[in-house]
Amino acid sequence: MKEKLQEHAKVMLIPLDEITPSPYQARTVFDTDEIKKLAVSILQNGLLQPISVRPTVDGRYQLIAGERRLRACRLMGMERIPAIIYQFEDEKTAALSLLENLQREQLNPFEQARALRDLLNLWNCTQEAGARRLGMAQPTLANKLRLLTLTQEQETLCSQAGLTERHARAVLRLPTPETRTKALQVVVDRHYNVLQTEELVQRILEGRKKPKRRMMVRDVRIFVNTINRAVQMMTASGIPATAEKTEDDSFIEYVVRIPTHAAEMPQQKQGTKSKEPKKPTKLSEL
């Protein structure tokens, strides 16, 4: 069994100029200063971890994992590099390359999101199944993948300014690409932290809300009929009250006039009872 494993994973010194880049590399930007620091470390301590490659049909090697180590060794002018040689198919190579990036290198949020998306595609599985294989919560995976809905311009703004995943997720609450870009530009120009970014997004959302419409009562006719009955009761009792109604699309206005001088009030004969007021009838004008 040991011999069989060695046939599939050999460590050899291979020429650097025979190694081609991995087509599954998730990282798109490499920090030159970090590569220089790694080169100094390799020069002082040696290469502690070999790179991983697989042979190709043209007799060369394709990198599986170790892009930064390979670049550092090239920077130092090394001719050969220790490498573990695997006999892997495309799917296995891609998965290992992406996983190595996720676990060993500091990818920016967007590189990480693309690596996760590519893994799910390779595994041909749901987010839930992929999250289990990656050892993360499904909502965490979903939030990371949501970053890919930002445009290239927005991604560039975030990456160049060193904004975090939480910065990017905050602007995803905004409804249009235009408002997201404007918000990110404000965040970058004013050097907002995550909390300030979330507050900015909230202010934008509140500003976009339509003014609340004043709630109308379920049936204004109840109140209109109450006014009419009151006026009818006064006139039936001999009080010459009048009411004028004005109505448009936004309101109903009533002006009720009740005389207050005795001369304007009809006098009743002494010793006689006033007639029983007639029961008001319901109005049908509304």
Residue from 182, 178, 114 nearest 148 by CA = 114
Centroid of chain to Cα 95 = 27
The residue to which tokens 């998306």 are assigned: 117
Phi, psi of 200 (to 5 degrees): -60, -45
| Contacts of range 278-283, beta carbons closer than 8 Å, 24 or more positions apart | 278/236, 280/228, 280/229, 280/232, 280/233, 280/236, 281/232, 282/225, 283/224, 283/225, 283/228
What positions carry a catalytic annotation?
67
